[in-house]
């Protein structure tokens, strides 16, 4: 019998000693990081609301209880009972029974009413029918991404269970090494913005954190070929952790499966969905630009199938010697600070991903309180000594002033925006300004993936700022459903109609003008001196957006990417930059994040910023807080124990 089998047998014996004698346990198994207990008496488990909590505390594991399939009532009988238990106001839109796991997936407009106070309604459902309820939200705005991901995972349930069981055995295997050390190897995004990738390794485990591309540089990818990364084979990785879905962090995650990786991806649920949306679009843009895509769409599906979603604050075993906790990073929907607890109190490392320290209209500010952190890997996008952004109120005032000036002369405002995060932030500003009469009520056209990304935001309101979450819970005040917003879905024909029409505001991808429909809008509006191009997000070195910001007015058009040969357009639009809408903390925000961090780390690695930004921030933190700081280059390795 294998070590894991022995371990499970011991756990089953301990569970049987702890539970009342009238509860029969039929199987105990690992599925990913969770211990799953199958029982013939799910109703009895449900009656004792503290039983699972006591077992989890005793065994120090995350526990899920499921009914043994032999004990289940028929779905047709259970359906009516379940609907009778759930209040009508919950707005149940679908019930899906899975006999292999004994779960009933309940899709509802108001999941909180299905859950009940402290889970009371869920327990009542199990008490009545024996099935284990799982609750998901019905998106207020229909999302093809959410629908496709849910349908795909439903189709792949059997294979996914096998994957989770295999992963569970890997996580809970016996440790083989007596050595103790912790190392971080930098594979990208050091003294540069883009291609984020790091390896966290111990004698037992190797974890890849992020795997992105570099905006404006198609041929610069993380150093995956080195021995510390995939040089010894993708299967040598134990896990992948994705901090958030922006392509400079996620674009090459599916490539790992092309190279033979078959392990888990840990991230939040909205990041999983956004990763699917953005990477599929990444392949589509590459094809349109005549570039060979680095992987097939099938690899995106593999990535989704292998993703294990984690909620903020849940401590999760991801290897025999590593526990992972994700915390809100305040950057985009589902973005996370990844905290790793190595060994039994041996060492703690936090990777910030991209962070925004202060509250925004969309998100609560980044979390910076942890049980322990010895080393922090900190983004430095705006870490330069002069990288101080305008505060939010001043930024909004400047934006509204620019909008009014343009609309008064019957011009159009074109805003290149990232589909995820900045677009929704700007939408909230526009909705409030029009509602309050601060700017004229004009159509706001959303092009590219912005509408779909917005639909995903409304699917996961629990990841949004507290007051915004409450507004989304009430459809009559959901700001994203304001009548001014128009989704461009007819392509070039609809764009031409908008260009020929009256004053309006257009939000379009891509945010750095590296492909996407924004280039079509430049062709339509670029020669109109009454219109204005407004940058509200970071423009990386080498991108068309940065070149225009720096004064370029001869713009290559007609070739799909704004960089190769083609016709040239002389830009006559006004060009404005409104700082303060970035999803990144500025220099002050980064310093405040470290200054108020509890506990304060001993070491800080300043990454994800150009050379001067990382060095400036590293120097400032060293002098102000007397901590060891580094501005590493790519391919450096740091040993901490």
pLDDT in tens, 146-199: 999 999 999 999 999 999 999 999 999 988 888 999 999 999 999 999 999 999
pLDDT at 565 over 60: no
Rounded to whole angstroms, the Cα distance separating 433 from 407 reads: 14
Output 477 or 353, whichever has higher pLDDT. Answer: 353
Q: What is this structure's pTM?
A: 0.93
* Tokens, residue 145: 């991404």
Q: Residues 300-326: pLDDT tens digits? A: 999 999 999 999 999 999 999 999 999
pLDDT of residue 560: 46
At 98 the three-state DSSP class reads: strand
Once rounded to an integer, what is the mean pLDDT over residues 244-269?
96
400-408 long-range CB contacts below 8 Å, 24 or more apart?
400/429, 400/433, 400/438, 400/439, 402/532, 402/534, 402/576, 402/578, 403/433, 403/439, 403/505, 404/439, 404/440, 405/532, 406/503, 406/530, 406/531, 406/532, 406/574, 407/439, 407/440, 407/442, 407/503
- Biggest alpha carbon distance in the chain? 81
Could you tell me if 194 and 206 are in contact, meaning their C-beta atoms sit under 8 angstroms apart?
no
pLDDT of residue 232: 77
Instruction: Identify the bridge partners of residue 628 per DSSP, sorted by sequence position.
Output: 603
Query: pLDDT grade, residue 263 (50/70/90)?
Result: very high
Rounded to whole angstroms, the Cα distance separating 452 from 333 reads: 13
Could you tell me if 576 and 402 are in contact, meaning their C-beta atoms sit under 8 angstroms apart?
yes
pLDDT of residue 535: 95
Query: pLDDT grade, residue 604 (50/70/90)?
Result: very high
Q: What sign does the dihedral 550-554-560-561 (CA atoms) show? A: negative
Cα angle, residue 353 at apex, residues 348 and 357 outer, rounded to 5°? 95
Which residues lie closer than 8 Å to 178 by C-beta, 6 or more apart?
none
* Tokens, residue 80: 């009516």
Radius of gyration of the chain (CA): 25
pLDDT at 490 over 80: no
Query: pLDDT grade, residue 201 (50/70/90)?
Result: very high
Rounded to whole angstroms, the Cα distance separating 249 from 33 reads: 24
* Tokens, residue 140: 């207020």
Rounded to whole angstroms, the Cα distance separating 273 from 377 reads: 25
* Tokens, residue 54: 């006591």
* Tokens, residue 388: 């101080």
pLDDT at 473 over 90: no
Which residues lie closer than 8 Å to 595 by C-beta, 6 or more apart?
624, 625
Q: Residues 419-442: pLDDT tens digits? A: 998 999 999 999 999 999 999 999
Tokens 């299905």 locate to 114
Could you tell me if 349 and 375 are in contact, meaning their C-beta atoms sit under 8 angstroms apart?
yes
Closest CA to 414 of 491, 338, 505: 505
Alpha carbon separation from 68 to 21, 25, 39 (Å, rounded): 17, 9, 5
10 Å CB burial of residue 192 (0-12, 13-18, 19+) is buried
pLDDT of residue 470: 87
pLDDT of residue 475: 64
Cα angle, residue 515 at apex, residues 510 and 520 outer, rounded to 5°? 90
Rounded to whole angstroms, the Cα distance separating 165 from 535 reads: 47
pLDDT at 561 over 70: no
Residue 380 zone, left/alpha/beta (φ > 0; ψ -120 to 50; rest) = alpha
Tokens 């969770």 locate to 34
Q: Residues 110-121: pLDDT tens digits? A: 999 999 998 899
Residue 408, phi then psi, degrees to nearest 5: -65, -30
Tokens 């991230």 locate to 267
Once rounded to an integer, what is the mean pLDDT over residues 451-459?
95
pLDDT at 463 over 80: yes
Closest CA to 168 of 63, 256, 87: 63
HSE value, Cβ hemisphere, 13 Å, CA-based, for 458: 26
Cα angle, residue 578 at apex, residues 577 and 583 outer, rounded to 5°? 115
HSE value, Cβ hemisphere, 13 Å, CA-based, for 101: 21
Rounded to whole angstroms, the Cα distance separating 111 from 116 reads: 9
Query: pLDDT grade, residue 641 (50/70/90)?
Result: confident
Rounded to whole angstroms, the Cα distance separating 159 from 152 reads: 11
Once rounded to an integer, what is the mean pLDDT over residues 627-631?
97
Query: pLDDT grade, residue 559 (50/70/90)?
Result: low
pLDDT of residue 563: 44
Q: Residues 55-105: pLDDT tens digits? A: 999 998 999 999 998 888 899 999 999 999 999 999 999 999 998 889 999
Q: Residues 228-240: pLDDT tens digits? A: 888 778 889 999 9
Give the alpha-carbon dihedral of 221, 225, 228, 229, to 10 degrees: 60
């Amino acid at each position: 019998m294998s070590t894991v089998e022995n371990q499970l047998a011991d756990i089953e014996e301990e569970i049987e000693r702890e539970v009342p004698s009238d509860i029969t346990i039929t199987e105990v198994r690992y599925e990913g990081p969770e211990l799953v207990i199958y029982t013939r008496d799910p109703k009895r488990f449900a009656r004792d609301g503290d039983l699972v909590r006591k077992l989890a505390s005793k065994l120090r594991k995350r526990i899920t209880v499921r009914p043994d399939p032999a004990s289940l009532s028929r779905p047709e009988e259970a359906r009516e009972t379940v609907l009778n238990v759930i209040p009508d106001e919950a707005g149940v839109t679908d019930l899906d029974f899975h006999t292999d796991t004994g779960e009933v997936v309940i899709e509802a407009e108001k999941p909180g009413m299905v859950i009940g106070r402290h889970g009371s309604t869920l327990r009542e459902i199990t008490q009545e029918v024996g099935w284990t309820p799982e609750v998901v939200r019905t998106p207020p705005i229909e999302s093809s991404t959410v629908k496709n991901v849910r349908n795909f995972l439903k189709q792949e349930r059997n294979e996914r269970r096998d994957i989770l069981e295999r992963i569970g055995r890997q996580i809970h295997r016996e440790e083989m090494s007596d050595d103790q050390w912790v190392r971080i190897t930098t594979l990208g995004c050091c003294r540069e913005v883009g291609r984020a990738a790091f390896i966290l390794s111990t004698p037992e485990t190797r974890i890849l954190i992020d795997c992105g591309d570099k905006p404006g540089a198609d041929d610069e990818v993380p150093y995956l070929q080195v021995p510390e990364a995939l040089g010894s084979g993708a299967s040598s990785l134990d896990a992948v952790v994705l901090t958030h879905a922006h392509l400079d962090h996620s674009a090459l995650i599916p490539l790992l499966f092309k190279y033979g990786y078959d392990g888990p991806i840990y991230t939040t649920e909205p990041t999983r969905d956004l990763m699917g949306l953005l990477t599929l679009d990444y392949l589509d843009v590459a094809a349109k630009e005549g570039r060979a895509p680095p992987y097939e769409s099938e690899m995106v599906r593999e990535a989704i199938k292998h993703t294990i979603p984690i909620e903020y604050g849940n401590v999760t075993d991801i290897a025999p010697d590593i526990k992972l906790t994700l915390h809100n990073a305040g950057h985009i929907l589902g973005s996370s600070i990844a905290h790793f607890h190595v060994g039994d109190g041996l060492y703690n490392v936090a990777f910030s991903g991209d962070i925004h320290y202060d509250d925004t209209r969309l998100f609560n500010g980044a979390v910076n309180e942890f049980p322990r952190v010895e080393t922090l890997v900190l983004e430095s996008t705006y870490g330069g000594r002069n990288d101080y952004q305008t505060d939010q109120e001043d930024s909004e005032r400047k934006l509204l002033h620019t909008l009014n000036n343009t609309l008064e002369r019957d011009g159009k405002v074109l805003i290149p925006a990232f589909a995820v995060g900045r677009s929704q932030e700007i939408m909230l500003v526009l909705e409030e300004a029009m509602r309050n009469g601060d700017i004229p009520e004009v159509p706001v056209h959303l092009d590219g993936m912005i509408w779909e990304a917005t639909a995903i935001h409304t699917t996961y309101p629990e990841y949004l700022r507290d007051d915004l979450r409450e507004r989304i819970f009430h459809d009559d005040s959901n700001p994203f459903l304001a009548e001014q917003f128009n989704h461009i879905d007819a392509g070039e024909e609809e764009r031409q109609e908008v260009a020929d029409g009256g004053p309006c505001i257009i939000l379009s991808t891509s945010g750095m003008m590296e492909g996407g429909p924004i280039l079509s809008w430049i062709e339509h509006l670029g020669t109109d001196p009454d219109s204005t191009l407004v940058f509200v997000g970071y423009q990386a070195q080498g991108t068309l957006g940065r070149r225009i910001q720096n004064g370029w007015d001869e713009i290559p058009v007609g070739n799909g990417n704004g960089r190769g040969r083609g016709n040239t357009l002389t830009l006559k639009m006004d060009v404005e930059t409104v700082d303060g809408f970035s999803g990144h903390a500025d220099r002050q925000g980064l310093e405040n994040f470290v200054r108020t961090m509890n506990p304060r780390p001993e070491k800080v690695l300043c990454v994800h910023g150009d050379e001067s930004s990382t060095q400036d921030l590293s120097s400032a933190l060293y002098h102000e807080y007397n901590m060891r700081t580094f501005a590493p280059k790519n391919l450096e390795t740091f040993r901490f124990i």
